[in-house]
Each structure stands twice: as C-alpha cells, then as structure tokens.
Amino acid sequence: MPQTAHVIGAGVIGLATAFELTERGVPGARVTILDPDPASGATHHAGGMLAPAAEVQYRQEPLFPLMLESAARYPSFVDRLHSATPLPTGHRTDGTLVVAGDRADAGHLEDLTRYQHTHGMAVERITVREARRMEPSLSPAIAGAVHIPGDHQVSPRLLVAALRDALTRRGVRFVADEVTNLVRDGAGAVTEVVGERTRHDATGAQVILANGLGAGRVGGWFDETNPLRLRPVYGDILRLGVPAALDPLVSKVIRGFVEDRPVYLIPRDDGTLTLGATSREDIQPKPRLGGVYDLIRDAVALAPGVEETTLLETTVGARPGTPDDLPYLGAVAENLVVSTGYFRHGILLAALGAEAGARLALGESPDVDLRACAPVRHSHL
Ligand SMILES: Cc1cc2nc3c(=O)[nH]c(=O)nc-3n(C[C@H](O)[C@H](O)[C@H](O)COP(=O)(O)OP(=O)(O)OC[C@H]3O[C@@H](n4cnc5c(N)ncnc54)[C@H](O)[C@@H]3O)c2cc1C
C-alpha cells in the first residue's frame, strides 16, 4: 500500500517536507497538511537570506555543517520546485556584502572574517572603494567590507506560495484546523491526529510535527511533559518601496554592523527592499518603535538613499528558538518525525530539513548527521 502522511504545520518546513515526500513517490492525494492559517508564522516575516557564512555566530559550530549543506542543496530544491509550479521563488544568487559602520565595527568584522576562514567559508576581504564600486549607494563613511559570493536569498512569501501551488497541483489536501493532540497505541505509534474541529486516522501513516512554535503546544506524543523547549525570539522587519529614480538602490544583500547592531537590506525582484531585523525576547508581539527606529537609522547610515524609500509594511515574526540554537529534527516514534526549532535559519535550513524529514518518515537514512538535533535532547531542562 502506498505511504500516507499527515504533516502538521504549513510554514516553510511543513510545506517543504510535504514537497519532498511527494518527490520521493508518496502520492499527493495521500498527503494531508493541517494548519489553521497556512504560511502565517515566522516564514511570513522572514528575510529569506540563505547565508551560511554571514549568519555565523561564535559558539554555534554544530550548526555550520548543516547550514553549508543546506545552502549546497538549495539550487536542486528550487529547480525541482520550479519544475512543479510556474510560480517564482525569488531565488537570487547575486551574493552578499557585509559592511562596517565605524572602526570598531570594522574590527568586529575582521575578527568574524578570521573565524569564518577557520571554518572554511568563502569570505573575501575587500576595500571600501571596491565595495562602493559594487554598490554605489553605500555611504563613503563605511569603515570596512567583505564580499560573500555564496550567500544567496529567496523571497519567503514567494517560496511558500510556490510550494503551496506545487502541492495543490500534486493533489495534496490542506485542512484548516489546529492540531491539539496526537493519540498513541500501547507501542507508542501515533494512531490519530486530533484537531480543534477534525480527527484524522493515522494508523499506518507517517506524522510529521512541523508547526514551528506550535509544536510545544501539541500534546499526547510524549510520556510526561513535552520535551521541546521552544521560545519565541521576536524580530521587527520592514518592507520599503524604492522610488523609480533610485531603483535598484542596492543590487545584492547588504548586511552591516552599526555600533555593533546588525542590520540588513535585501533587494527583491519586485523593486521593494526588506530592512531587518531586530532580535528580542521581550514577549512583545507588536513592532517595537525603538527597534524600528534603530533599523531605519542604521540602514540610512550604511546607505543614505534609504531615506528616500517609502514605508510599505512593518511586521514582527517570532523565530522558533531552542536552547542551543539547533533545530529539533528526528524520529521520536515508529511513525512520528519532529521537525521544528529552526530559529534564525529556517528558510536556509528548509532544503536540508525537508529532505531529511521526508527520508526519516519513509524509514530511510537522513543522509546527514542529525545527532546534535535529537528532539528530546532538552527534556531534562
Ligand atoms: C524577522 C525574521 C527574519 C528571519 N530571517 C531569516 C532569514 O533571512 N533566513 C532564514 O533562514 N531564516 C530566517 N528567519 C527564520 C525563519 O523564518 C524560521 O526559522 C522559519 O520560518 C521557521 O519555519 P517553520 O515552518 O518551522 O515555522 P513557521 O513559519 O512559524 O510555521 C509554523 C506553521 O504552523 C502552524 N501551526 C502552529 N500551530 C499549529 C497547530 N497546533 N496545528 C497546525 N498548525 C499549526 C502555523 O499556523 C504556521 O503556519 C527569520 C525569522 C524572522 C522572524
């Protein structure tokens, strides 16, 4: 009998995992995706940088191989998706510039570049003059620059729209319901997926728990307390309109540090710019004025033309954080795979996470070392 799968959550991870299941021969008509409001979570707000080098942070070494491997898989992921839908994904390979606002930021950038080099990442030191030749809108006052040709981008909203279209074309069923509970049999296998309004027989089916922060609220699949230690890390992010006379204001992703605060500008194919993002754990789910002010001031310091743009949107997303910044990805029962906790890197890690999640669900080797991502590793915390 062909495989059947219930995917809980229609953010980038759930959708991409469902896509990889259908790529591996699971008939679309046998895949159900449950989500009360598809693509409304962190994915909707994300910048979409595929930045295994620029996103490097000290003491996150176990993440680096996963980020590099996922970046390497992105072209194939996007190509296969483009064969399944005519919709665009906003995948761009123009590379990334990282610039420093002042001399202290330049020192920080130099240290980071050395660290990236020790981890084998392709990061090129360039002069400010070279950076301004690449991106004439950069301020002459910037104090340092590096070029990262291998850090790319997608438009997360386009990517998930393309995934939803591809899955719909393949016959995948979307159910608008919030999953509350999983029912297990005596051997621990999931037999039923229970939502607020619907119930789904899961006997003999594969269940993938991929609902971001919501995974911490789904009951029934563990013995005592939910082992996932997810927390929201909020990010304020803006969408800007670029006047025709200035378009394009920048042609590749510009990241920067201004007085040690990170900021980025992402040019989109529709002529808009994304300006992001703050990182805060103050449980304030509305845009925080101080954070928005910092973003605008810092972006103007790096590229003064930003002052001429128009403010199209200000939103906040909640990144699904974990105590060690690594995702929760692994099989926790015979027919249950957990795939969440992608924190700051879920768009980048979607290519790897989706393929590994689908392989695990189909009883195959995940083709990547996931020991550091065991979903129950924080149950003692
Ligand atoms: C401001 C910001 C900028 C970011 N920039 C980047 C970036 O540049 N690059 C990058 O790689 N990552 C970035 N990220 C991180 C990235 O957005 C996340 O890691 C990723 O989107 C997580 O995807 P997900 O599918 O796991 O979760 P989500 O996108 O949150 O999706 C979860 C889905 O599950 C559904 N759901 C929740 N509970 C239930 C339930 N009980 N039953 C059914 N469905 C449920 C929700 O409705 C939602 O649709 C950024 C995040 C933010 C907030």
Burial of 187 (0-12, 13-18, 19+ CB in 10 A): exposed
pLDDT > 90: percent of the chain? 96
Domain that holds residue 189: 5-50+157-230+323-373
Could you count the other beta carbons within 10 Å of the beta carbon of residue 201? Answer: 12
pLDDT > 70: percent of the chain? 99
Is residue 106 domain-shared with residue 254, that is, in the same domain? yes
Round the average pLDDT of the chain to a whole number and report it: 97
Is residue 239 domain-shared with residue 315, that is, in the same domain? yes
Which CATH number do you get for residue 277?
A: 3.30.9.10
Give residue 283's pLDDT: 84
Pocket of ligand 1 (CB under 6 A): 8-14, 34-43, 45-49, 178-179, 211-212, 214, 218, 235, 237, 276-277, 317, 319-320, 340, 342-348
143-189: pLDDT as tens digits: 999 999 999 999 999 999 999 999 999 999 999 999 999 999 999 99
Interface confidence: ipTM more than 0.95:
yes
Is residue 236 domain-shared with residue 288, that is, in the same domain? yes
Residue 67 maps to a domain: no
Specify the DSSP element, H or E, that contains 254.
strand 253-258
Amino acid making up residue 232 = P
Q: Beta 179-184 vs 124-126: how paired, if at all?
A: unpaired
3-state secondary structure of 248: coil
10-58: pLDDT as tens digits: 999 999 999 999 999 999 999 999 999 999 999 999 999 999 999 998 8
Stretch 277-304: mean pLDDT, rounded? Answer: 96
Stretch 286-309: mean pLDDT, rounded? Answer: 98
Is residue 186 domain-shared with residue 219, that is, in the same domain? yes
Ligand 1 center–CA 351 separation, angstroms: 14
Stretch 357-369: mean pLDDT, rounded? Answer: 96
Residue 188, CB-side half-sphere exposure with 13 Å CA sphere = 9
Is residue 251 domain-shared with residue 307, that is, in the same domain? yes
Ligand 1 center–CA 59 separation, angstroms: 23
93-116: pLDDT as tens digits: 999 999 999 999 999 999 999 999
